[in-house]
């Protein structure tokens, strides 16, 4: 049910520690007014999990959500806004066998939505979890 221990570790390294390491490396270059986006997934939402499964991926994305929220609290003191972002159900190899009936979007559409959300990001909207469409998602 849970899957291989190595898969859980690998996904945690990529999806949770990866974004944290990138932001930590960039902190010396971020000034007041900078923006940070963490690409995560709504499958990491504790409030939006109605199906279970996908343990490694869900846990690693829940970790990414916590990374984004922690970064928001830590970086707002320096005037840096942080947003957690869900790109949507993008038609890729990752989603091609995903169970259920979903409206899939192309990568370019997802990227446009993510860029629009970052363009809209202000200190007042920092610390949120947003879908590329603009919808506010539960943590």
In the predicted model, what is the mean pLDDT of residues 23-49? Answer: 95
Q: Does residue 76 belong to any structural domain of this protein?
A: yes
Q: How confident is the model at residue 2 (pLDDT cuts 50, 70, 90)?
A: low
43 within a domain of the structure (yes/no): yes
Rounded to an integer, the average pLDDT of 111-126 is 97
In a domain, 33, yes or no: yes
pTM listed for this prediction:
0.89
- Residue 137 belongs to some domain of the structure: no
Residue 36, phi then psi, degrees to nearest 5: -125, 130
Is position 14 within any domain? yes
Mean pLDDT, the chain, rounded, equals 91
Q: Residues near 106 by Cβ (< 8 Å), separated by ≥ 6?
A: 90, 91
Residue reference for tokens 């270059």: 29
Domain CATH number, residue 63: 3.40.50.720
In this prediction, residue 105 carries a pLDDT of: 80
Give the residue carrying structure tokens 């942080």. 82
| Residues of the domain holding 44 | 5-131
Residue 89 belongs to some domain of the structure = yes
> What is the per-residue pLDDT across 37-70, written as a single tens digit (0 to 9) for each?
999 999 899 988 878 788 998 999 999 999 999 9
Query: Domain count of the chain?
Result: 1
DSSP category for residue 99? S
User: Do 136 and 56 form a contact (C-beta atoms < 8 A)?
Assistant: no
First vs last C-alpha separation in the chain: 24
Residue 52 confidence (pLDDT): 78
Q: Is the pLDDT of residue 126 over 70?
A: yes
CA 37 to the chain's CA centroid = 8
pLDDT, tens only, 71-96: 999 999 999 999 999 998 887 766 66
Q: Which two tokens stand for residue 3?
A: 């899957």
Structural domain includes residue 139: no
């Amino acid at each position: 049910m849970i899957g291989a221990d190595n898969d859980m570790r690998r996904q945690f390294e990529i999806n949770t520690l990866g974004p944290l390491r990138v932001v930590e490396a960039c902190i010396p270059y971020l000034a007041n007014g900078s923006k940070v986006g963490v690409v995560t997934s709504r499958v990491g939402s504790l409030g939006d999990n109605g199906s279970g499964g996908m343990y490694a991926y869900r846990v690693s994305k829940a970790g990414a959500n916590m990374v984004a929220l922690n970064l928001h609290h830590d970086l707002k003191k320096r005037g840096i806004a942080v947003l957690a972002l869900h790109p949507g159900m993008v038609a890729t190899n990752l989603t091609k066998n995903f169970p259920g009936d979903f409206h899939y979007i192309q990568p370019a559409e997802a990227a446009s939505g993510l860029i629009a959300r970052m363009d809209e990001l202000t200190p007042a909207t920092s610390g949120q979890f947003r879908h590329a469409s603009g919808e506010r998602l539960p943590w």
